[in-house]
């Protein structure tokens, strides 16, 4: 997979991209964990989510936030990383102007950025939040959450207690017709060591189900 450089607000963003030949293929953007705790686009959960979407025919992009790997700039504790994600989504949409749907996924810190981007970009149809740090970051900006999605974590996560994710999923206000689901992977820790397959299967089944629902809604409107 060739390296891709995207122009970001703080300089280049090191990226990896899979492109589908069908111009109407859906797109997905994957955001990695906290840069100051070793998070990169090559994190095993990010990598697994990336290929979960690729296998389903998505044009899929993952990238390193500013200051990570070969991406330029310096860690900005949120605002800069959100700007990076917005630039990456802009690039992805420019490559796929006829895409029929748009998804975003994040891992830990990446979920906090993903959800902020979701609130700013109404074209995002669905999301997968893996181990959202509900006990460490403020998610009250999801008021209301504009798109349905999945929040998933491990029940042995010592960084983000499962109860805090369940509470976030339950308490987040949603628009009419929007539903946030909460999934729990048994015996999985924050890094999903030895539980990646279970995580991917659960997330993939959710994406498949939502895709069918979205296609039905689209046909009903035609």
In the prediction, which pLDDT does 2 show?
A: 67
Is residue 27 scored above 90 in pLDDT?
Answer: yes
Does the pTM surpass 0.75? The reply is: yes
Kindly state the average pLDDT of the residues 39-68. Answer: 98
- Hey, what domains does the chain have and what are their CATH numbers? 4-221 (3.40.50.1820)
Q: How many whole angstroms separate alpha carbon 63 and alpha carbon 46? A: 10
- pLDDT confidence of 1, banded at 50, 70, 90? low
């Amino acid at each position: 997979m060739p390296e891709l450089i995207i122009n970001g607000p703080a300089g280049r963003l090191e990226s990896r991209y899979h492109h589908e030949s069908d111009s109407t293929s859906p797109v997905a953007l994957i955001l990695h964990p906290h840069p100051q705790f070793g998070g990169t686009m090559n994190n095993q959960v990010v990598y697994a989510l990336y290929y979960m979407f690729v296998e389903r025919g998505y044009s899929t992009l993952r990238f390193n936030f500013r200051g990570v790997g070969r991406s330029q700039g310096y860690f900005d504790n949120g605002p800069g990383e959100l700007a990076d994600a917005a630039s990456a989504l802009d690039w992805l949409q420019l490559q796929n102007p006829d895409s029929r749907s748009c998804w975003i996924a994040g891992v830990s810190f990446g979920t906090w950025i993903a959800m902020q981007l979701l609130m700013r970009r109404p074209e995002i149809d669905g999301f997968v939040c893996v181990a959202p740090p509900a006990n460490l970051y403020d998610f009250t900006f999801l008021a209301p959450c504009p798109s349905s999605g999945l929040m998933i974590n491990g029940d042995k996560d010592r960084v983000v207690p499962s109860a805090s994710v369940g509470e976030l999923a339950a308490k987040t206000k949603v628009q009419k017709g929007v539903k946030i689901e909460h999934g729990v992977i048994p015996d999985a820790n924050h890094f999903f060591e030895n539980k990646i397959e279970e995580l991917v299967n659960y997330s993939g089944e959710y994406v498949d189900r939502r895709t069918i629902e979205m296609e039905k809604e689209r046909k009903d409107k035609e």
